[in-house]
Amino acid sequence: MPYSDYRPDLMGSATLTPTGSFEAGSLASFTLVYRAGQFGLDDTGSIKIGMRFATDFGPVQFKDPAGEGYTSVEASNGATLEAKWEFKRNIRPWSPSLYIGVVRDFLAPGDTITIRFGDRRFGSPGIRLQTYCESAFEFRVFADPIATYDYVALNDRPQIAIVPGPAVDFIAVLPTLVRVGEPFRLALAARDKWGNATDREQRVLRLKCDRQIANLPDTARLSLGAYASVVEGLSVATPGQILIHVGDDAGRELCQSNPLKVVAEAPRRHFWGDTHGQSNETLGTNSAREYFEFGRDKAFLDVIGHQGNDFQITTAFWQQLNALTRDFDRPGRFVCVPGYEWSANTAVGGDRNVYYRHEGESIHRSSHAQIAELSDEPSDAHTAHQLFDKLRGKDCVVMAHVGGRYADIAYAHDAIETAVEVHSAWGTFEWILRDAFAQGYRVGIVANSDGHKGRPGACYPGASFFGSRGGLTCFLATRLDRGAIFEAMRRRHHYATTGNRAYLDVTVETARDALLFERDPAAGPAPSTATRRLIMGDIARVEDGEVELAVEVIGSAPVERLDIWDGLDHVETVRPYGAAELGARLRLIYEGAEYRGRARTTVWDGSLSLAGNRIVRTAVINNWNLDRGIVSETADRLHWKAVTTGNYGGIDLWLEAPLAGRLSFRTAPVAGEVAIAELGVDELSFPGGGLDRLVKLYRLPVRLSQRRLVVRRRLPLRQGGDTRLFVRVQQEDGHRMWSSPIYLWR
């Protein structure tokens, strides 16, 4: 559904050469031959070759025979053909499609159309394969032999396997918080140049730490055919910070682990999750089973959820998903959460993530748009108001998110909607948090991948329209099981990151007892307890006129800045350096989006030039696409390619002299010029229209090294309404973190 299923055996056949396994992102050439079936292929009839929605295969082009991606089409009988490559030429999930129409003559039964992707006969180097792995990448063929534009999917399903490339970097994953003596693990893995987990690495890894870790070996081994090396049973006897250095036999450092804080006692642990993505049964890549296996075994998640578009989830697949989450859920090791994405148009509420604590619950779809069987259509919820009504009383949690469609939380909201998703592979969306504040809602902050490429917990955009690396959420929970994770969700006890694992602790201390509510009392009576210490996500009534905010961050890279917010109001920026420490280093930032909807991508391709100074070296931050970045560089000029989708990227310049000369830049949204001596710690902003779109320039120390930042501030509470305290942390490498707000009222 909704393709015609009329006699696919009569519609023709398709063959592909070569077949087998091919490296992600490599150049290749394929020949696909369509052979007309019993009906032939009539004048103005056509075929389509579809690929899955998220693919970055290609691009396909027909004009330059010597260029990359050149594709030729020809009919065996000389019929005139028309070829078009379009992103949304077909019914999802086969959106990107090559359309081939007969514009003169026709094909008789047995006649063929030969399509050569990356035709190398005239000098083309081939066509680039998609940059992420897929066990069964299909060239899905649809035929319209009778020229009705009613396509039939052929029985033949030509396919190849796309596998990872060789390792170019390494990762070392630790938890971020454990108690003294508590066992934990170290996971080591390699990634190819596109961010794929790779099994094509064989080497000895040397492990070093400046603190004593029980059972930490001197070496670990990555083996061919294995995607990871895991060291279990580690522990630390005294409180402190842990950072493990991973090197090779030559003494070269390959990577560092994320930070781990060891404490004498803690009521809650940190558990890392990506609860938003989908598999090829809806709009993603690889099967649902492969999806869960990747999150557990290759991304080293603690918590995972599957969120397929509801109007593609058949009853059979819903039952399969529930069976899979039940099978993969292992309390104490791996929490797997059942659920779905309620995928309504924005006009009636927009996308919501629905999570159930138990299997066997009903799915209340936004529609049956791509489901032929309508027996359960009465359970649909066509608006967000209807969704909340149908979920009332169920053991579930809802989160609002921004994807292709975006959630309009001003249109509808309910107390079971506990959080908003501010970051995913689609970009960064702080505006949805501002929407919640403007409405007076009490929500937490999460980030996930919303991944479509089969890489939950490690989602890179590759060469496609996705503009950002997928995010992660750190849940503060008493234990690793569904009950504790759902309690953390309901109480907003979590923080969000742009995909890195860093330690963040935000608390509020009161002089007198505060009344802490287990649920939002705005939705009705809620149990409460007296306390003088509140954590991120808490809702409390306080007697004091001011409170003490305490923040500790241990970054996965040096910390650049920490911003304290009270709802919509910016309170303070804290930096681990001052004006006296600035050096001959400039940072140019570009950020924002066109607007809230699907076509939000802003192209920041641009240039800068220097007069009276020289560029010594450069670096790019938050460039997730190897086709973009700095494309040319001289001592006084730079050209780059970049996009943002609400997130930000930037370029660092190390100059010959710290204060000399002038800098000018030009991008499509905005251009500007400034004397370098006028730049300092604070950003100089150049607004670029659109949605939070601008360029910023400022100076930095030549090198940042401080990963730990501790801040304590006494802050007054508002006389009326909520004080909503949260922080945003920005690292030197471009990653960001957001704490869920603490909601206080007098």
| Distance from C-alpha of 299 to C-alpha of 634, rounded to nearest angstrom | 39
Report yes or no: 351 and 343 within 8 Å, Cβ to Cβ: yes
Tell me the mean pLDDT in the region 550-560: 98
Residues 6+ apart with CB under 8 A from 374: 368
| Distance from C-alpha of 24 to C-alpha of 196, rounded to nearest angstrom | 8
Same domain, 490 and 513: no
Give the pLDDT confidence score for residue 516 in this predicted structure. Answer: 98
**Weakest-pLDDT range from 104-113, 224-233, 383-392, 459-468:** 459-468
Give the pLDDT confidence score for residue 467 in this predicted structure. Answer: 80
Phi-psi group of 399: left, alpha or beta (phi > 0 → left; psi -120 to 50 → alpha; rest → beta): beta
Tell me the mean pLDDT in the region 699-718: 97
pLDDT tens-digit readout, 299-310: 999 999 999 999
pLDDT tens-digit readout, 74-108: 999 999 999 999 888 799 899 999 999 999 999 99
The two tokens of residue 163 are: 């596998």
Is 736 domain-assigned?
Answer: yes
Q: Taking each helix axis as running N to C, give the angle between helix 315-328 and helix 288-297, from 0 to 180 degrees, rounded to the nearest 10.
A: 20
| Distance from C-alpha of 655 to C-alpha of 614, rounded to nearest angstrom | 6
Is 2 domain-assigned?
Answer: no
Q: CA-based angle 451:474:449, to the nearest 5?
A: 10
Q: Is the pLDDT of residue 132 over 70?
A: yes
Q: Is the pLDDT of residue 465 over 80?
A: no
Same domain, 646 and 744: no
What is the phi/psi pair of residue 710, to 5°? -120, 130
| Distance from C-alpha of 282 to C-alpha of 706, rounded to nearest angstrom | 44
Of 700, 716, 735, the residue at which a domain comes to its end is: 700
Burial of residue 433 (CB within 10 Å: 0-12, 13-18, 19+) is: buried
| Distance from C-alpha of 388 to C-alpha of 413, rounded to nearest angstrom | 8
Q: Is the pLDDT of residue 654 over 60?
A: yes
Report yes or no: 108 and 36 within 8 Å, Cβ to Cβ: yes
What confidence tier does 463 reach under pLDDT thresholds 50, 70, 90?
A: confident
Is 582 domain-assigned?
Answer: no
Is 347 domain-assigned?
Answer: yes
Q: Is the pLDDT of residue 1 over 60?
A: no
Of 120, 148, 163, the residue at which a domain comes to its end is: 163
Q: Is the pLDDT of residue 491 over 70?
A: yes
Same domain, 539 and 483: no
Half-sphere exposure of 271 (CA within 13 A, CB side): 27
Kindly report whether the global pTM for this prediction surpasses the value 0.75: yes
Same domain, 443 and 512: no
What is the phi/psi pair of residue 486, to 5°? -65, -35
Same domain, 137 and 212: no
Same domain, 686 and 672: yes
Tell me the mean pLDDT in the region 25-45: 98
Is 585 domain-assigned?
Answer: no
Give the pLDDT confidence score for residue 404 in this predicted structure. Answer: 85
Where b means 16+ CB within 10 Å and e means fewer, 596-615 reads beeebbbebebebbbeebeb
Same domain, 664 and 739: no
**CATH of residue 723:** 2.60.40.10
Of 210, 244, 266, the residue at which a domain comes to its end is: 266
How many domains does the chain contain in total? Answer: 5
pLDDT tens-digit readout, 505-514: 999 999 999 9
Tell me the mean pLDDT in the region 663-669: 98
| Distance from C-alpha of 533 to C-alpha of 379, rounded to nearest angstrom | 43
pLDDT tens-digit readout, 521-550: 999 999 999 999 999 999 999 999 999 999
Give the pLDDT confidence score for residue 461 in this predicted structure. Answer: 86
Residues 6+ apart with CB under 8 A from 365: 310, 311, 313, 340, 342, 371, 379, 380, 381
* DSSP at 330: B
Q: pLDDT exceeding 70 applies to what percent of the chain?
A: 100
Is 290 domain-assigned?
Answer: yes
pLDDT tens-digit readout, 190-235: 999 999 999 999 999 999 999 999 999 999 999 999 999 999 999 9
Q: pLDDT exceeding 90 applies to what percent of the chain?
A: 97
Tell me the mean pLDDT in the region 455-473: 89
Tell me the mean pLDDT in the region 264-274: 97
| Distance from C-alpha of 194 to C-alpha of 460, rounded to nearest angstrom | 7
Give the sign of the dihedral formed by CA 197, CA 199, CA 202, CA 207: positive
* β strands within 292-436, DSSP E: 303-305, 335-337, 339-342, 352-356, 396-400, 417-424, 427-428
Cα–Cα nearest to 285, from 597, 56, 569: 56
Tell me the mean pLDDT in the region 615-630: 94
What confidence tier does 163 reach under pLDDT thresholds 50, 70, 90?
A: very high
Report yes or no: 24 and 111 within 8 Å, Cβ to Cβ: no
| Distance from C-alpha of 70 to C-alpha of 62, rounded to nearest angstrom | 5
Q: Is the pLDDT of residue 339 over 90?
A: yes
Tell me the mean pLDDT in the region 482-500: 98
Give the pLDDT confidence score for residue 2 in this predicted structure. Answer: 66
> What is the arrangement of strands in the sheet containing 13-17, beginning at the earlier edge strand?
13-17, 30-35, 112-117, 71-75
How many helices (DSSP H) and strands (DSSP E) are in the chain? Answer: 5, 57
Same domain, 183 and 256: yes
Tell me the mean pLDDT in the region 38-66: 96
Q: Is the pLDDT of residue 318 over 90?
A: yes
Same domain, 567 and 685: no
Rg (CA), the chain: 27
Is 3 domain-assigned?
Answer: no
Same domain, 304 and 386: yes
pLDDT tens-digit readout, 393-418: 999 999 999 988 999 999 999 999 99
Same domain, 441 and 559: no
Is 144 domain-assigned?
Answer: yes
Range of the domain at 601: 590-700
3-state helix, strand, coil in the chain (%, to 5): 10, 45, 45
Give the pLDDT confidence score for residue 208 in this predicted structure. Answer: 97
| Distance from C-alpha of 719 to C-alpha of 192, rounded to nearest angstrom | 54
Give the pLDDT confidence score for residue 380 in this predicted structure. Answer: 98
Average pLDDT over the chain reads: 97
| Distance from C-alpha of 504 to C-alpha of 481, rounded to nearest angstrom | 21
What confidence tier does 708 reach under pLDDT thresholds 50, 70, 90?
A: very high
Same domain, 403 and 472: yes
| Distance from C-alpha of 454 to C-alpha of 451, rounded to nearest angstrom | 7
